[in-house]
Amino acid sequence: METVTENPSYKLELTSSPHIHSRWSTQYAMWLVVISLIPAVITAVLIFEWYQLVIISVSIATAIGTESLIKYIRNRKLTINDGSGVITGLLLALILPPNFSLFGTVIGAVIAISLGKEVFGGLGYNIFNPALAGRAFLQASFPVAMTTWTIPNFAVDATTTATPLAAMKFDKIYTSFSPLFLGNIGGSIGETSALAVIIGGVFLIAMGVVNWRIPLSMLIGIVLFGGILWLIDPTKNPDPVFHIFSGGFLFGMFFMATDWVTSPITAKGMWIFGIGISLLVVLIRVYGGLPEGVMFSILFMNGFVPLINRFTQPKTFGAVK
């Protein structure tokens, strides 16, 4: 449909405020996110070989292709330039298991963009984090392939390919701190190295792309809830440090939970959101049937964001309740 401004009979172009532009744009922020993910990509190649780059490229290409196709079918303007498709593709690839099938990657990226984002009306309208939605679909569809982990390159003990969380949950084997920190463990392509993820995450916070409240509240939450369970029974429940550095917690904390569209906009809301995620992560990891729960926790809390926003709306100055 035509809009008024595109009608050639009008001489004056009408746009609503704001009229002052800063260097900040969706595009600028999105490219900063891409830069922040470079350390994770590099460590992924170091730990799991070059093939992971193929998965990443396929995922990004499919994401962009799907978005263009849907925009074309729906007769809307192309929005590839905003970089959100690239981010979704990149994030999705980084949370897949290493050496995942390319066909599966394509399905995941198509679902992430189409069902995760475009059915709601595109960027800004989606309720759930698109990359996580894509992964959740793959997890439910191919539970075996999605939990088949590759032995890391520098593995000391090559007999087990289980992730530290699975080893803890099913066999009560603890992984020591240094492999967890450097990433020399079984796990998704981009999430194993806590160091690389922290470098990227701190960069994002320093540049002001993501709000520090969500990561901080998640950290406090996991120390609190993980710590309580650990103090109750240290032999059965993992300590909070293990909770933080294992699985996808750090990756989800910096790159998934902080997604602009699917996290609360109020400061108070962000605290509720972050602590809620951590509570769910601890509950799923300790009492659930699955070893890891970061993905479901974030998706679950995503669903509460509209409610959280509504109940934490700051009072207008001078307003009487």
Partner 1 sequence: MKKQVTLLKEYTKGLWEINPVFKQVLGMCPTLAVTVSAINGIAMALATTFVLVLSSLIISIIRKLIPPQVRIASYIVIIATFVTIADLVMKAQFPELSKSLGPFIPLIVVNCLILGRAEAFASKNTPVRALFDSLGNGTGFLIVLFIIGSIREILGSGTILGFHIMPLTFEPWLIMILPAGAFLTLGLLMGLANFYVDHKKNKERESIIEKFRSSKQLPTIETEA
Partner 2 sequence: MNNTTKMLITLGFIGIVAGGSLSFVNNWATPLIAANQKAETERAIFLVQPEAKSYERIDNLPFEAYKVFDENKTFVGYSLPYEGNGFQGKIRLMVGLSTDLNNIIAMEVLDQIETPGLGTKILEEPFKDQFKNLNSSSPIEWVKGSPPSKDNEIQAITGATISSKAIVAIINNGIEGLKKAELKGEEK
Q: Which of residues 26, 68, 147, 312 is near partner 2 by CB under 8 A?
A: 147
142 binds partner 1, rule: CB under 8 A: yes
Minimum Å distance from CB 143 to partner 2? 5
208 binds partner 2, rule: CB under 8 A: no
The closest alpha carbon to 273, from 231, 192, 195, 215, belongs to: 215
Stretch in the footprint of partner 2 (CB under 8 A) among 7-15, 138-146, 204-212, 253-261 = 138-146
The contact mask relative to partner 2 for 158-177 (x = CB under 8 A, - = no) is ------------xx------
Is residue 101 within 8 Å of 145, Cβ to Cβ?
Answer: yes
Interaction partner, residue 107 (partner 2, partner 1, none; CB < 5-8 Å by kind): partner 1
State both tokens at 4. 């008024």
143 binds partner 2, rule: CB under 8 A: yes
289 binds partner 2, rule: CB under 8 A: yes
The closest alpha carbon to 219, from 299, 286, 177, 278, belongs to: 278
- State the DSSP string of 134-180: HHHHHHHH-TTGGG-PPPPTT-S-TT----HHHHHHHH-PPPPHHHH
Is residue 291 within 8 Å of 166, Cβ to Cβ?
Answer: yes
115 binds partner 1, rule: CB under 8 A: yes
Stretch in the footprint of partner 1 (CB under 8 A) among 133-141, 172-180, 228-236, 253-261 = 133-141
Minimum Å distance from CB 142 to partner 2? 8
Going by C-beta distance under 8 Å and a sequence separation of 6 or more, which residues neighbour residue 115? 133, 137
How many residues touch partner 2 (CB under 8 A)? 7
Minimum Å distance from CB 139 to partner 2? 11
Tallying the residues shown for the chain, one arrives at: 321
145 binds partner 1, rule: CB under 8 A: yes
67-89: b or e for each residue (b if 16 or more CB lie within 10 Å)? beebbeeeeeeebeebbbbbbbb
Amino acid at 45: V
Q: Which of residues 12, 20, 144, 232 is near partner 2 by CB under 8 A?
A: 144
Interaction partner, residue 31 (partner 2, partner 1, none; CB < 5-8 Å by kind): none
d(CA 297, CA 119) in angstroms, rounded, equals 22
121 binds partner 1, rule: CB under 8 A: no
155 binds partner 1, rule: CB under 8 A: no
Residue ranges binding partner 1 (CB under 8 A): 1-2, 7, 104, 107, 115, 119, 137, 140-143, 145
